[in-house]
Amino acid sequence: MFKLIAILATCSLLLACGGPTPVAKSDCDKVIQHVKSVLKDKAPSHSELTAQCKSATDEQRGCVMAADKPMKVLQCL
């Protein structure tokens, strides 16, 4: 019984610490669309967002896609 509890606890911790799913550079259009929907009129220009997206890591793009508030988007960069 103890082993089962230990295994379940370990799995829960791994899932909780996994972070957002990485997003490939080829999905920048989706990332930009998401950023514009979150930041609304405060979003940078399309060309600036494109440059930032292409220079970001897969993990940073994934973080942005998981963000649902402006401050969360800013924390990803």
Read off the tokens for 28: 């920048």
CA distance to 7, 12, 13, 66, per residue, from 3 (Å): 6, 14, 15, 33
The overall average pLDDT reported for the chain is: 85
Question: Cα 63 to chain center, whole Å?
Answer: 2
pTM: 0.75
Look at residue 3 and give its three-state secondary structure. Answer: helix
User: Which of 18-22, 49-53, 61-65 bottoms out in mean pLDDT, i.e. has the lowest?
Assistant: 18-22
Q: Taking the domains of the chain in order of start, what are their residue ranges?
A: 21-76
Q: Residue 3: what residue type?
A: K
pLDDT tens digits for range 2-30: 454 444 444 444 444 568 999 999 999 99
Place of tokens 């295994």: 7
